[in-house]
Structure 1
Amino acid sequence: MKKIIILSTGGTIAMKYDEKIGANVPAVSGKELIAAIPSLKDAGDIEVVEFSNIPSPHMTPKLMLDLRDKIDELLEDETITGLVVTHGTDTLEETAYFLDLTLKTDKPVVLTAAMRSADEIGSDGPVNLLSSVRTAADFNSKAKGVLVVLNQQVHKAKDVTKTHTGNIDTFKSPFWGPIGYVDTDKIIWNNIPIREERYSVKSIEIDDVHLVKMTAGASSLIIDTLVENNVSGIVIEAFGRGNVPPNIMTGIEKAIEKKIPLVISSRCLGGRPLGIYGYAGGGGTIANLGGILAGDLNGQKARIKLIVALNSENYKYENLNKYFDN
């Protein structure tokens, strides 16, 4: 039987309702989590490792790096087939993408979570965990990059995002869809992706990278403040093809003059910024000044990728564009 590690980090999947507080709080260990799912014993030889028990809004890039190091360490054991990380849903896609960009291993690594707490009626944690263990044990999961499994669907870390605040069918890959699904007897693969990128990151020394969302008529106040404070990077979630209100351009110009890395993503669910507009605030105008277009990454993942780039061994400001839209 294949040996699978379950590495618990916390999240709603490990929470219960606290009557005194009147809300869900961390309450369930990884071992308690799997003890409640007897059928897991048929999916693999399970070993539980406790990493943390935190809500995912408490996750940081430095903790993501610690998690990455722990996963690589555990999967050096030749007897281990794959690994499942239990995580909160709020920042799961960011952790998954960070791991996808930086893990050394090609063994299956799957992230899963729950939208309902462990003691809530209809809790989705057990089926998500079982589906994830089965996916991690599947031979075809190897060398696909980090996978995200919820609601019996298998998604690529790069494409998946949380789309609903409360529905259990919240994780979607807009325009791409899941790459597979977990059926009763086996994993059904819709397509067979390969891992696209891998970067060498030994430590996170730089993480003051900020995401700014564009709205109609927005001023340059936020970007001006970030530039004045000499932040390490700025990601702008722009309109459509990478366009911004003209008032924003003064802040963008100041950032680029100071060589603060500035990346443009789109607030649209699908597609990528493209420099086809040359008016004041147009994506082409920003790119010509030195702004970097983020490809089809959403804002939060473009931020994660910029943090990875800034901390990678071979990073140079002049070569930043090679990390994006490549």
Structure 2
Amino acid sequence: MKANIAIIGTGGTIAGRGESSVNTSAYACSVVSVDEILSGIPELASLANLQAEQLLQMGSENFATEHLLLLGSRISRLLQQDHVDGVVVTHGTDTIDETAYFLHLTLKSMKPVVVVGSMRPPSALSPDGPLNLYNAILVASSPASRGKGTLVVSNDEIHTARDVVKTSTFKLESFRSPYGPLGYVVEGMPRYYREPARSHTLETPWSIEEIDRLPEVGIVYAHGGIDAGMVDAVTNARMSGIVYAATGNGNVAEHVVGALLRARREGLHVVRASRTGSGVVIRNGAQPDDKYDWLVVDDQAPQKARILLMLALTREARSAELQRMFHRY
């Protein structure tokens, strides 16, 4: 019996179109409907019973918190329907890792949710979108995918939403996880080799059904000679937190420490992250976090840390509890 899979279109490169078949990086984004995408892949009919809807139509660089809430709420309603076995979201690759992680932490279902995009538009000479979408539906239809939270499928790989990040502007193998994928799609069969280690979905305190707004958190990207005024700008914007994407192991230049301390005194939570792309930021390592009442990301990429802090602040303001969340999720 074929699975019943709901497809939600939100735009992105997978819904793009170039002027010629050799335009793989220069093209119009988010101009093809999800129905048109599906009709161009006749092989999908043999995989599952599909129902499709166009929820959004935009490049994912335009995704804001209200779009995360809208998408999460719609997926949640679909997952509650008995006849829906899983959900696939077509999404732009720019912020696919952020959206997927938000869903990973807020959806309350064992059913598979797969977010998929492409690095080349459907009009390209060798587009990756059709096979990515085919594989995503395969993964969403597989009983082996139940209970693994939100997944991102790309280039024959299955990644957990917690770890995956985009690492290239154009390569098909752009999506990487620091610990490797959970598994692969091989000849039409999802094959899993590891499980997500951190808590997600049913094991988190956040439910999309209970969230009507998210506090804003800014990211400041460190570099040599950074002006401390960049931190002050976020503080003055009256956000709820700052993720400082620091150099190395969360190192903070001496002349920036004062600005981050001011931010904390103003009530913003300060989280030390790293711009390196992998590794663990050690608490009380490069900075005296206990003394300053700062937080560290553990191994989270800055953009993932922002998602987690926004969610954490909907329920908690105590630093010790916030730090515990960074070490658990």
User: TM-score under structure 2 normalisation?
Assistant: 0.91
Structure 1 segment 218-297 matched on structure 2, within 5 A: 218-277=226-285, 282-283=286-287, 285-297=288-300
Query: Out of 148, 162, 165, which is 1:161 matched to?
Result: 165
Residue 88 of structure 1: CA displacement?
Answer: 0.3
Query: What SS is found at the alignment partner of 1:243?
Result: coil
Does the CA-based 8 Å contact 2:112-2:148 persist in structure 1?
yes
Matched, 1:200 2:207: yes
Matched, 1:97 2:101: yes
Work out the number of aligned pairs and report it. 316
Structure 1 residues 78 and 131, CA gap change in structure 2 (3 angstroms): same
Q: Which residue of 2 aligns with 1:191?
A: 194
Q: 46-55 or 202-211, which moves further after superposition?
A: 202-211
Q: 185-194 or 286-295, which moves further after superposition?
A: 185-194
Structure 1 segment 1-326 matched on structure 2, within 5 A: 1-17=2-18, 23-174=27-178, 176-193=179-196, 196-197=199-200, 198=204, 199-201=206-208, 202-277=210-285, 282-283=286-287, 285-311=288-314, 314-318=315-319, 319-326=321-328
Residue 258 of structure 1: CA displacement?
Answer: 1.9
Q: Which runs of 4+ in 1 moved over 6 A?
A: none
Residue 18 of structure 1: CA displacement?
Answer: 5.2
Identity, % of aligned positions:
33
Does the CA-based 8 Å contact 1:112-1:149 persist in structure 2?
yes
Query: What SS is found at the alignment partner of 1:131?
Result: helix
Residue 33 of structure 1: CA displacement?
Answer: 0.6
Q: 4-13 or 258-267, which moves further after superposition?
A: 258-267
Structure 1 residues 195 and 6, CA gap change in structure 2 (3 angstroms): farther
Residue 317 of structure 1: CA displacement?
Answer: 3.6
Residue 99 of structure 1: CA displacement?
Answer: 0.5
Whichever residue aligns with residue 238 of structure 1, its letter is: A
Whichever residue aligns with residue 254 of structure 2, its letter is: P
CA deviation string 1:235-273 (max 9, x = no partner): 101122221110111111111212211111111222111
Structure 2 CA distance for aligned equivalents of residues 147 and 96 of structure 1: 7
Query: What SS is found at the alignment partner of 2:108?
Result: coil
The two structures, once aligned, show a CA RMSD in angstroms of: 1.7
Query: What SS is found at the alignment partner of 1:325?
Result: helix
Residue 214 of structure 1: CA displacement?
Answer: 1.2
Structure 1 residues 49 and 178, CA gap change in structure 2 (3 angstroms): same
Structure 2 CA distance for aligned equivalents of residues 56 and 275 of structure 1: 33
Does the CA-based 8 Å contact 1:293-1:325 persist in structure 2?
no
Q: 92-101 or 262-271, which moves further after superposition?
A: 262-271
Residue 98 of structure 1: CA displacement?
Answer: 0.6
CA deviation string 1:155-183 (max 9, x = no partner): 01011010110011110112x01110001
Structure 2 CA distance for aligned equivalents of residues 45 and 291 of structure 1: 49
Structure 2 CA distance for aligned equivalents of residues 4 and 210 of structure 1: 36
Does the CA-based 8 Å contact 1:212-1:234 persist in structure 2?
yes
Structure 1 residues 146 and 122, CA gap change in structure 2 (3 angstroms): same
Residue 142 of structure 1: CA displacement?
Answer: 0.5
Residue 306 of structure 1: CA displacement?
Answer: 1.1
Structure 1 CA distance for aligned equivalents of residues 192 and 213 of structure 2: 38
CA deviation string 1:5-62 (max 9, x = no partner): 111110010111258xx84132211111111101101111111121111111111122
